[in-house]
Amino acid sequence: MKRVLVADDEPVTLRLHQMVLRQTGVEAALFEDGDSVLLEMDSVAPDLAVLDYQLPGKNGLELVAALRAHPKLAGIPIIVVTGYRELELKEALLEAGANEVIIKPFSPRMLRSRIESLLMLPA
């Protein structure tokens, strides 16, 4: 079973991600801050990461850089979710190695579609 690392400090958004992942048929490892992601990413061994940009501790940009620098996780797809609409932030996230930047608010259906596509799951 595929495993997705999810980091978001908003409980409602975490539940939304968990619901989408359950519908997609993948396992979720949920985190509420960036520091926990850094401590646990080895043990989680995710196939994909969905990261909020604004997190306590390390932010989404720092987490993207950390995942890309990790020998075993450097190649996993990364989706960053943010409420910020600045083009410069989106460009910085993509240059750091994010595969997708999704702007809030977003539909669960769209997130599910992106996850299925990046994990190459049947729709």
**Residue 78, pLDDT score:** 98
Q: What percent of the chain has pLDDT over 70?
A: 99
Q: First and final CA of the chain: distance in angstroms? A: 16
pLDDT in tens, 15-61: 999 999 999 999 999 999 999 999 999 999 999 999 999 999 999 99
What is 3-118's CATH topology?
Rossmann fold (3.40.50)
Q: Predicted confidence band at 122 (pLDDT cuts at 50, 70, 90)?
A: confident
Q: Which residues pair with 80 in a beta bridge?
A: 51, 101
Instruction: Write down the domain spans for the chain.
Output: 3-118
pLDDT per position as a tens digit, 70-112: 999 999 999 999 999 999 999 999 999 999 999 999 999 999 9
Three-state secondary-structure class, residue 26: coil
How does the average pLDDT of the chain come out, rounded? 95
Give the burial class of 77: count Cβ atoms within 10 A of its Cβ; 0-12 exposed, 13-18 middle, 19 or more buried.
Answer: buried
